[in-house]
A and B are shown apart, each in its own frame.
Chain A
Amino acid sequence: MRLNQIYERYADKVAFFCIYIQEAHPDDGWQLPVNHDDSVLYDQPKTMDQRATVAQACVLHLGLAMPTLLDDMNNSTDVAYSALPERLYVIDSGGRIVYRSDPGPYGFDVSAWEQSIAVSVS
């Protein structure tokens, strides 16, 4: 998985976090055929334990290597970063945003994200 490759390449110089946010396509919301095909069928979590259950399935199934954090049930961090459904950011060592992707999935440009990471450690 490419995200893991990037994580392993830069993990000694960059802090990585995957922030697990609300479901983009829950079974009780806008479901997509691809989720049916892959049996990725989960209702929108209403508790932290429910969110953690889906996040665990995600971490294990995708083999995500980087530390994963759970957004709270107010979706505070998702809202603060306008992250839904997916988004990538890079923050410099002083706390300024130096890269922000377009919203996913179409804007989920891992190559541009990696390039920004490379610049930030150069």
Chain B
Amino acid sequence: MEWCEYMECSRRLRYRPAAPIARFTLASVCARYKNEAMSEPDFDLIPLMTDLTSGRKFLKDVDAPIVDQITSRLKLRRDQFQALLDNNLERAKKAPAVGDAAPDFDLELVDGKGVRTGDTRQLSACLGKPIALIFGSYT
């Protein structure tokens, strides 16, 4: 999820920061993550990666040098990356769509210090007002 925060920063900067203040912000973000894999040129790849992982574009239609750049950054072989995208798309097909009934859940709550409580929260019991969900993990 930390990675997502970085993505959000990059998206808000519209991928190619032109203004000095935006470049400064971007540099801060990159420095925070201390990872050359997130250097500025890679920001150009974010729209493409968004399309690939959401199935709007396919790897076979991407120029080989670009694919090499992506797989190198991700530490994956091309076939591994293709398998990952295929798996993503299979999963995405099963995602409930806008207009569908939200699948119910009844899951254990952790407290503000991240400690298990034994209490649960059920989606269907919270209806009556909008519900906003974030799914993710630390890694």
Partners in one complex: yes
Interface, chain A (partner B; CB < 8 A) = 1-3, 6, 10, 13-27, 30, 32-35, 37-38, 40, 42, 48-49, 52, 54-62, 65-72, 76-100, 102-111, 113, 117, 120-121
How long is the Cα–Cα vector from A83 to B98 in the complex, in angstroms? Answer: 14
Q: Are A108 and B7 in contact (CB under 8 A)?
A: yes
List residues 89-128 of chain B with CB under 8 A from any CB of chain A: 91-92, 94-103, 105, 107-110, 112-116, 120-121, 123-124, 126-128
Residue of B nearest to A78 (CB): B135
Interface, chain B (partner A; CB < 8 A) = 1-8, 11-12, 33-35, 37-38, 46, 49-50, 53-54, 74-76, 84, 88, 91-92, 94-103, 105, 107-110, 112-116, 120-121, 123-124, 126-139
How long is the Cα–Cα vector from A24 to B74 in the complex, in angstroms? Answer: 13
Q: Are A97 and B100 in contact (CB under 8 A)?
A: yes
Q: How many A-B residue pairs have CB under 8 A?
A: 254
Q: Are A81 and B95 in contact (CB under 8 A)?
A: yes
Contact of A87 with B131 at beta-carbon distance under 8 Å, contacts A15-B126, A97-B99, A103-B88 already known: no
Q: Are B132 and A93 in contact (CB under 8 A)?
A: no
Residue of A nearest to B56 (CB): A102
Q: Are A88 and B128 in contact (CB under 8 A)?
A: no
Instruction: Name the B residues within 8 Å of A17 (CB-CB).
Output: 121, 131-134
Instruction: Name the B residues within 8 Å of A96 (CB-CB).
Output: 99-102
In whole Å, how far is B73's beta carbon from the nearest beta carbon of chain A? 9
In whole Å, how far is A37's beta carbon from the nearest beta carbon of chain B? 5
In whole Å, how far is A98's beta carbon from the nearest beta carbon of chain B? 6
Chain B facing A: main interface SS: mixed
Q: Which of A24, A30, A67, A85 contacts B109 (CB 8 A)?
A: A67
Residue of B nearest to A70 (CB): B108
Contact of A100 with B134 at beta-carbon distance under 8 Å, contacts A68-B109, A111-B11 already known: no
Instruction: Name the B residues within 8 Å of A95 (CB-CB).
Output: 101-102, 123-124, 127
Q: Are A86 and B92 in contact (CB under 8 A)?
A: no
Q: Are A68 and B110 in contact (CB under 8 A)?
A: yes
Instruction: Name the B residues within 8 Å of A34 (CB-CB).
Output: 2-3, 33, 35, 37-38
Contact of A69 with B113 at beta-carbon distance under 8 Å, contacts A88-B133, A89-B132 already known: no
Further pairs besides A62-B5, A77-B105, A89-B102: 11, Cβ < 8 Å: A16-B134, A19-B133, A27-B139, A37-B34, A38-B2, A58-B114, A59-B114, A60-B113, A91-B130, A103-B54, A106-B54
